[in-house]
Chain A
């Protein structure tokens, strides 16, 4: 069985500082990993994904994520956070049938 964990319920960061949102996964076989962002009362917006290739994946809005096979992690990062980055972030893993399994979510709060 596959699973994905987001160990932090909330991450607080000051605007302009680096932002990291943690995600670890457990899968059999090659992982297909995703990051999504959700603003209040909205659906999910795709940020980036790792399927294969370079371990550093660049995505939308200046976000990137690093796939680390040995640590089974896929942490989301942004060098300089904006207040508008305040939202709920979900890590997800996709199985071979195309189903997504989401982590619990991490609330990011960026203060001015």
Chain B
């Protein structure tokens, strides 16, 4: 249980185009999803916190107009990189937080489960 998927797993796009990345919780509901960015051989940096039905909260230094986040349902959040440039090339990882306490099979309330990541290359 607690599986999180991301689509696509990798994408190559031209500079100036927009790219949408989906993050889905497959077998649980998640009121909160997190988006991270990871450069090669570096740590994960939190970009934003996505809450279902409300606006995302962005970390300091992250351009909210460039990285559009939508959390339309309890199982889906999307990250759109608008007008992508080569410096946006990175590995983007999402995580989803389990909703509720005492859920059968989930002993980890408030635990984050991570997707497999999306490799974005902007040419």
Contact = CB atoms under 8 A, between A and B. Distances in A.
Given A44-B93, A99-B34, A105 B42 contact: yes
**Binding site secondary structure of chain A:** strand
B48 to A, nearest CB: 11
Kindly state the interface size class of chain B when it binds its partner: 20 to 34
A7 B28 CA distance: 36
B44 A102 contact: yes
Contacts of B46: 99-101
**Binding site secondary structure of chain B:** strand
Interface string A57-101: 000000000000000000000000000000010100000001111
B114 A45 contact: yes
Contacts of A100: 34, 44, 46, 95, 112
Interface of B: 4, 6, 32, 34, 41-44, 46, 49, 91, 93, 95, 97, 108, 110-117, 119
15 contacts: A43-B4, A43-B114, A43-B116, A44-B95, A45-B114, A46-B111, A46-B113, A88-B41, A90-B43, A90-B44, A98-B110, A99-B46, A99-B49, A105-B41, A107-B41
